[in-house]
Amino acid sequence: MTSPAFSRCFDPSGARYGIPTYPWKLAPEGMATRRQLRARGLRPGGQPVAAQVMYRSRRRKSGAAVAYLYRVELAQPVRPMTARKWGALALAMLARRTCPQCRRDAGYVIPTSLGTCVTCAYPDTQHAPQSAVDPLGVPA
């Protein structure tokens, strides 16, 4: 006996959703999601979505979410990173680590909840540097 959720998600002909739909973990061999392709060193490469996997989700109003599937045999290898792409990525990460208030590299990604580094966000709670005391608590 099949559950109503299974019958809602199982549509291999694509009559209900316009695209073949399978329940979670029951997709046919030879199909993979974007993350699964990336784990194999592949990318969709411009091919259309071949099918979808439907699964329960508490975050969605409908109670279900979908993951699109692509054909593995049509997937292409991931393009290698060029020197310019590495440089652009390094600059983007530097911008995420730079505090907009004090303009220093914080050494970590600035939390969006604060908008500044922790030192600028909480200036009164900073303690004196402990460099004059060794780990055993004996003054130098």
Question: pLDDT tens digit string along 15-59?
Answer: 787 888 888 888 889 999 999 999 999 999 999 999 999 887 777
Q: How many helices (H) and strands (E) does the chain have?
A: 4, 6
Cα–Cα distance measured from residue 53 to residue 19, given in angstroms and rounded to the nearest whole number: 10
For 55-77, what is each residue's pLDDT tens digit?
877 777 777 788 999 999 999 99
In the three-class reduction of DSSP (H, G, I as helix; E, B as strand; rest coil), residue 84 is classed as: helix
Rounded Cα–Cα distance for residues 135 and 122 (Å): 26
In whole angstroms, what is the distance from residue 130 CA to residue 140 CA? 11
